[in-house]
Amino acid sequence: MSLHTHVVLPGRAPREEWTQRRYWLPDFNQMWNAARLNLADALDPFERGRITVSMRQGIGMIAVLGLLAGVPTLLANLWLGLSVGTAVPLAAAAASLAELAAGYPANPVANEVAHTAGLLAGIEPRMPGLLAALLSALGLWLNWPLGWLANWIVYGAVVAGLARLMGAPNNLQTFFAATSFTAVPLTLTGLSPIPFIGPLAVIAGILWAFVLYYQAVRRVTGLDATRTLLSVVLPGVVIAAIPTLLALGLLLLALAA
Amino acid sequence: MRDGRLEHNFDDATVQLDITMLQPRAYPEFVAKALVLDNDPFEAMVDDDNPWMEGFVLVVAVSGLAGLALAVGGWLTAATLPAPDAALTTLLQGGRQLAAILSLPAASVERVIMEVWALTAFSSGYAGGWTHLLPILSVPGMALVWWVFFSVGAFGIGRAFGGNGTLRTTLGAAALTVAPLSFLLLSIAPFAGVSSVMLAVWSALIGYRAIHVAQELDWRRAALTTLSVYALAIVVILLLLVAFGLGYATGGFR
């Protein structure tokens, strides 16, 4: 089989498809429809009776929206790193420990730890401080889409497996393409650095994303409500249960000792 | 015939057929298509004249680039941080102060800090030296071992489940399991981290597709084969850990 086999029609030069935006992203209307929980129009905008959005477009959308959501944090990190003239994680650790110590002024341990962290952040990095702040902020910014992609693939693989075991006839590409729209409401989590509004936006974004994820799984698998809910919730319950059980076990061991 | 391509003019269309072997320049497209679980690259690898050689070159190319990105990223990350000596001096100073506050022996606190420091600085490459370059060798090495292990395991188990692919075609298709390592190219930016769980799960999904195509199994058997290979890998790792533990406990490696 050859990937280079193609037909060139006269008068129509072969176009570099991968250079077009639509190759990498669904259009804005599809994302808007997903945000309104109108998944029928988001997944099948031309009413062809099948899901036309691709997994590739899903990855592109997660990458772009992840970067977009990370912009407020990027700006906050740049502000912090540039003002201290060091790598952002060091500056952030020093700032949060100083805040913690300020909350417990009578605690000498907290004060000493904060003082040491402040001293560490104050040491000149090996590269110019400006560059260290810029590069580290950029790296942390990239973690936004990378984290979203990780959650999407890892959680999705388990949910898709469970749905399949429960009788869903879906294929993996369609499943991942449909569930990628969860990135749309998750964009709200990018507002987290804003005081007061941030935490509310994060909660709203996660709840909204959960509802959209449930709808996407239901639409793409064709399962009934109970089995869809089981497929979506069970991996989360197991993930939450493992550390809880481990902590309980450790606690019991400690008590026994 | 022109540039390795067979062309034929029909009345209103030109059909071009590429009859050359796969080229490394096609690898980015293969990797991209494997990431979205497209069947094309798997079929192309299975149908290749020399699938295992093609797979070997693909694994080395992708993992080599990933290792290089990790090495450069590790070096850049270390460069964004203070000099290790100055950082260690500050930490020891803080440790002594903390020991005084908590009425702990300063020597013990210093020893703990030194031990943790030595381990962290060595494993992260922060201390400098040649440890920065370790990923250039370790990532391709691990990728090659995993590729061979996965392919041989998938071939054996797949055959037991009724598959009819050969080891050569399985090696070719399974080479695409390294595709998620391409995300490690982003590790070139300091503090950018790629989840190893994501790499493992995405690689498993691609491995499932590879077995599905190379062994021509139905989805259930292909999934069982994939999971069995992973379970086998866990058993092998546990056995190695037990062997290491026994060796260490009986006085080896000291």
Confidence tier at A50 by pLDDT (50, 70, 90): confident
Residue A95 tokens read as 């700032």
Confidence tier at B22 by pLDDT (50, 70, 90): low
Q: pTM to 2 decimals?
A: 0.86
Task: Pick the range with the lowest mean pLDDT from A23-37, B224-238, B239-253.
Answer: B239-253
Confidence tier at A255 by pLDDT (50, 70, 90): confident
- Residue B10 pLDDT > 70, yes or no? no
CB of A230 within 8 Å of any CB in chain B? no
> Has the ipTM of the complex gone over 0.95?
no
B82–A123 CB contact, under 8 Å: yes
CA distance B206 to B35: 7
- Cβ-nearest to A7 among B15, B18, B44: B15
- Residue A187 pLDDT > 80, yes or no? yes
The whole-angstrom distance between B31's CA and the closest CA on chain A is 12
- B65 and B91 Cβ atoms separated by less than 8 Å: no
For residue A170, the model assigns a pLDDT of 66
CA triplet B126, A122, A139: central angle to 5 degrees?
50
A49: number of Cβ within 10 Å: 7
Nearest chain B residue to A90 by CA: give it. Answer: B81
Supply the DSSP symbol for A144. Answer: H
* Sequence letter at residue B101: I
Task: Pick the range with the lowest mean pLDDT from A1-15, B130-144, B203-217.
Answer: A1-15
The whole-angstrom distance between B94's CA and the closest CA on chain A is 5
Buried b (16+ CB within 10 A) or exposed e, B13-47: eeebebeeebeeebbeebbbbbbbbbeebbebbbe
Residues B89-124 pLDDT 10s: 999 988 888 888 888 888 888 899 988 888 888 777
User: Mean pLDDT over all residues of chain A?
Assistant: 88
Collect all residues of chain B within an 8 Å Cβ-Cβ radius of residue A106: none
Supply the DSSP symbol for A36. Answer: T
Interface test with B, best of A143, A166, A176 (most B CBs within 10 A): A143
Side-chain-side CA neighbours of residue B197 (13 Å) = 13
For residue B17, the model assigns a pLDDT of 45
Torsion from C-alpha of A37, A38, A42, A45, nearest 10 degrees: -170
For residue A209, the model assigns a pLDDT of 96
Chain A (82-141) residues lying within 8 Å, Cβ to Cβ, of chain B: 86-90, 108-109, 112-113, 115-116, 119-120, 123-127, 131-132, 135-136, 138-140
Segment A150-159 shows an average pLDDT of 95
B198–A149 CB contact, under 8 Å: yes
Q: Which of B155, B135, B126 is nearest to B226 (CA)?
A: B155
The whole-angstrom distance between B233's CA and the closest CA on chain A is 19
* CB-defined contacts A:B, below 8 A: 154
Burial class (CB in 10 A: 0-12, 13-18, 19+), A81: buried
Percent of all residues in chain A with a pLDDT value above 70, rounded to a whole number: 93
Interface test with A, best of B20, B21, B80 (most A CBs within 10 A): B80
Segment A13-39 shows an average pLDDT of 83
CA distance B244 to B254: 12
Percent of all residues in chain A with a pLDDT value above 90, rounded to a whole number: 55
Does an H or E element contain A159, and which? helix A129-165
Task: Pick the range with the lowest mean pLDDT from A5-19, A62-76, A225-239, B232-246.
Answer: A5-19
Does an H or E element contain B139, and which? helix B134-160
Q: Which of A76, A82, A72 is nearest to A121 (CA)?
A: A82
CA distance A192 to A202: 6
- Residue A28 pLDDT > 70, yes or no? yes
Residue B216 tokens read as 């021509």
For residue B129, the model assigns a pLDDT of 72
A116–B197 CB contact, under 8 Å: no
A135–B189 CB contact, under 8 Å: yes
CB of A257 within 8 Å of any CB in chain B? no
CA distance B31 to A157: 19
B101–A109 CB contact, under 8 Å: yes
CA distance B83 to A6: 57
DSSP E strand boundaries for chain A: 6-8
- B44 and A3 Cβ atoms separated by less than 8 Å: yes
Distance of CA A125 to the CA centre of its chain: 30
- Residue B7 pLDDT > 80, yes or no? no
For residue A15, the model assigns a pLDDT of 56
User: Who wins on pLDDT, B132 or A7?
Assistant: B132
- Residue B233 pLDDT > 80, yes or no? yes
- Residue A3 pLDDT > 60, yes or no? no
A59–B36 CB contact, under 8 Å: yes
The whole-angstrom distance between B219's CA and the closest CA on chain A is 10
- Cβ-nearest to A126 among B43, B81, B91: B81
- Phi/psi at B86 (5° precision): -65, -40
Residue A181 tokens read as 């729209």
Residues B24-62 pLDDT 10s: 888 898 999 999 999 899 999 998 888 889 999 999 999
A89: number of Cβ within 10 Å: 20
CA distance A233 to A242: 15
For residue B227, the model assigns a pLDDT of 94
CA distance A198 to A201: 5
- A205 and A185 Cβ atoms separated by less than 8 Å: yes
For residue B2, the model assigns a pLDDT of 45
- A152 and A177 Cβ atoms separated by less than 8 Å: no
